Structure 1
Amino acid sequence: MVGTSLANRLAAHLRRGRQWWLTCEGRVDWPRLPVGATFEGEQLGRWAAGQRAGWADLVGEQRELLGALGIEGDQVLAAAKATMVAKAKTSRADRFALGLAALAAFAEREGHVRVSRAHREDGLALGTWLNNTRARRAGLTAEQRGQLEALGVTW
């Protein structure tokens, strides 16, 4: 069952979509509506694109209500959404390991770990990573702090 607040937001977006449709006398080209289009403060373009991309996830009643406004599913948007969802997420531990490996390569090559904030190493913003890691050292495990200190990182 859809939560009450989610149901209320869906109803509000549908109302805005209907108001826009009525304002345009039913002549809305939803596929060409820019994603950034707004109507009465609502991000109508973004909402419409989301409905078209997630068409397969909608229940029959939702499809009927949207269909009455001329909104239909879009296979290209649905495929793009599926691709985004399928992208593997990198865990914190994996991101740390990538940063640590890049820092180790830098330290071996340069002989120090004084990385400029703008430095990139193998596509990784190493300087930013190191700066952020230092700033968030309280969230590191003792093992992670030890690994960094072994490379010469000072706090």
Structure 2
Amino acid sequence: MRLSGEGGDARAYYELHGTLAAPRHATALDKPVGQWLTNIRRPGGLGKDPVRARRRAQALAAIDPDWNPGENGWTVDWQRHYAYLAQLLAEGGRLTAIVPGVTRHGEDVGRWYATQRRDWNPLSDEQRERLGELGVKAAVRARKTSAKSPVAPTSGRGAAAFQTGVAALAQYLGRERGGMPGRGHVERLPDGGEHRTGVWIANQKPRRDRLDREQLAALADLGVDWAK
């Protein structure tokens, strides 16, 4: 891996998108910069020489301090949408106008923003703090009525549980850099809770046909082979 060459592609991508949280299919200067960034975020991806690996990480951090969101405990997908939301607001957009269907670089930032407000509690303290700096707050939940369908809250809990699992896995990989956790591994979350990350990742494979494209992409970005 030659950081000098791919680093130029990464810088070109950042200049266009304002983030290095690129999806795997992303290109810059006709080069597969998204796949390259995905590879180097994986355990050992920066090389076996610790001095050289540290130098490469510093070069990427000079472009984007959040180039490896797993070290913060969240996914590349989350970081990318957060960056795009911040950009929309910096350009004069208002949170009230960022609704599902509002996109940036092909990403539905409005839908993501609504999801963060709805699934506020499972977010880490730092995620909530970063969103709060943009003026984002948890959604005010409407009172349940007998006429309300139970599908929405069930779906919301499922989405929140998946996000928590991905964040726990990203946290583990960012720390251990030694492959997937064993089935018995329990990850301690930033809020002090515990997550059975080993069991969770093992349970995702049998139900992969029920995962949506974004969920599969989040797992693939973390190096889960069967999600690619």
Query: Normalised by the size of structure 2, how large is the TM-score?
Result: 0.31
Name the structure where helix makes up a greater proportion of residues: 1
Larger Rg: 1
Could you tell me the TM-score, scaled by structure 1's length? 0.44
